[in-house]
Amino acid sequence: MNRQRRVSWVLLAVAVCGALAAVIAGQVVAKPSALTVAAASDLRPAFEELGAVFEKSTGRQVVFVFGSSGMLARQIEAGAPYDVFASADPAYIDALLAKGRLVPATRRIFALGQIVLALRPNSGLHTETMADVLQPSVRTISIANPDHAPYGAAARHALQAAGVWENAQQRIIYADNAAVAVRFLETGNADAGIVPLSLAKAAGLDYKPVDPALYDRLQQTIVAVPNGRQAEAAQEFITFLEGPQSSQILDNYAYMLPGAQ
Amino acid sequence: MITDPDLLPLLLSFRIAAMATLLNLTAGLAVAWLLARCRFPGHGVIDALTTLPLVLPPTVLGYYLLVVLGHEGAGRFLEEALGVRLVFTWQAAVMAASIAAFPLFVQPVRAALEGVDREVENAARILGRSELGVLMTITLPLAWRGILTGLVLAFVRSLGEFGVTLMVAGNIPGQTRTMSIAIYDAVQAGRTGTANMLVAVMTVVVVAVLILARTMVRSIRW
């Protein structure tokens, strides 16, 4: 066999391998059988625990996608194949409802979230009130990005209401979502942070509650996304979320239940 | 077979990168040939467009793709006419990976095609080879180093694609959560063990692919 032929054969072999890989990929990847729940990042520890219980009791499969509520809402608007959307702010859900992108009858406020002033481990800092973030040894304050993360918006609101926003602004680092804001604290890359109570507690951080007069508690809202795949399972998940098992788990992660204030 | 859920993204990354590279092999080879061999009005524009994914920020590319494929763009018509939804599917991840890797395939292939001696091709034509015969037995074999280099670069780039994929395909487990996105997710969730493991695996895999390609280029003597 001459050399040109051999090279052609090698190129052909490469193309065939690629085509085979492509065919196998097409068959294995496209299996959207699980219920896909897009949830605000503060819900990660609670929902992961809750999801395991849901799977056990219903035999259904559930996968979670976590991010800031604003980002997830934007993805749903663009057509993301989520079946359920759990937002930390009903405003994002209501905006999508107005555009006819969600199932109105399924909308529920299932928990109330709170923010705390948390510190990085071994910081040696002492904070009581919001004004304490202005002490010189607090060089960085992590909050979620208020533009698309409800917990960030609540943090900014509390700092403004406490009258320290102007002076604190230089020290603020904005995280993609509330979970990342907590990560900055856990890794010691931020000194203080105004973050969800659920995550600060789960991460074992040192924290002080933020005076509820300084912000509105976060109304964690859930709704089904109609995309024709998992309507029944979506409804089942929302119903499950209001059941006693879920209430117990949400309570463990320090969420308040609506109507039980 | 890999069953560890933490390693499923690796499998997904390989599949997506393989499909993206295959896409580039066909479309990229055509564009590279066009750029290397033809002179036509708009040549410069196509040349620039081909290089664009290399220099534009992934967020810009991702935004364009999202606008074009999404519900506000052509995606709406695709969905209404054919019932096909592209954004936030693995198909979108393949498109993202192939667009990001496109210039890395086209550039070396084009250079290799330009380096092929036209006299040799003409000699083959005079001796009676058909145009397809000339392409398959003269041009492509003489350009094989460039093609192989392009394939490897494009594959490795697709394997590691992050920015565009995150914007148009999201982060859906089993569907679009590739290795790089799984690493991002693990870091966000504070799962340091998983992140360390995935980062190590990714590094080993990419280095292995590069070494393999190097050995291939060196050891095969025609």
Residue A44 is which amino acid? R
Closest by CA position to B153, among listed B64, B58, B53: B53
Question: pTM for this one?
Answer: 0.81
Cα of B171 to nearest chain A Cα, Å = 7
Cα of B111 to nearest chain A Cα, Å = 18
Instruction: Confirm or reject contact between A16 and chain B (CB < 8 A).
Output: no
Name, in order, each residue with C-beta under 8 angstroms of B79's C-beta and a sequence gap of 6 or more: A79, B71, B85
Residue A68 has phi, psi (to 5 degrees) of: -70, 145
Q: Is the ipTM of this complex over 0.90?
A: no
Residue owning tokens 């055509």: B30
**Which of B19, B174, B220 lies at the smallest CB-CB distance from A21?**
B19
Cα of B194 to nearest chain A Cα, Å = 15
Within 13 Å and on the Cβ side, how many CA atoms surround B143?
Answer: 30
A68 chain-B contacts, CB cut-off 8 A: none
What's the average model confidence in pLDDT over A109-120? 96
Q: What is the reported pLDDT for A1? A: 46
- From first to last of its 222 residues, chain B has per-residue pLDDT tens of 445 677 789 999 999 999 999 999 999 999 999 999 998 999 999 999 999 999 999 999 999 988 888 777 777 787 778 777 788 889 999 999 999 999 999 999 999 999 999 999 999 999 999 999 999 999 999 998 899 999 999 999 999 999 999 989 988 888 899 999 999 989 888 888 999 999 999 999 999 988 988 888 777 655
Instruction: Confirm or reject contact between A121 and chain B (CB < 8 A).
Output: no
For chain A, where are the alpha helices, taking DSSP H only?
3-29, 44-58, 69-77, 90-98, 150-161, 165-168, 178-186, 197-202, 231-241, 244-252
pLDDT above 90 coverage of chain A, percent: 77
Q: What is the reported pLDDT for B175? A: 87
- CA-CA distance, B67 to B74, in Å (whole number)? 8
Nearest CA in chain A to B136: A8
A6 chain-B contacts, CB cut-off 8 A: 222
Residue A162 is which amino acid? A
Convert the pLDDT of each residue in A1-47 to its tens digit. Answer: 465 566 666 666 666 666 666 555 555 544 557 899 999 999 999 99
Cα of B41 to nearest chain A Cα, Å = 31
Convert the pLDDT of each residue in A171-225 to its tens digit. Answer: 999 999 999 999 999 999 999 999 999 999 999 999 999 999 999 999 999 999 9
Convert the pLDDT of each residue in A138-182 to its tens digit. Answer: 999 999 999 999 999 999 999 999 999 999 999 999 999 999 999
Q: What is the reported pLDDT for A105? A: 94
CB atoms A80 and B70 under 8 Å: no
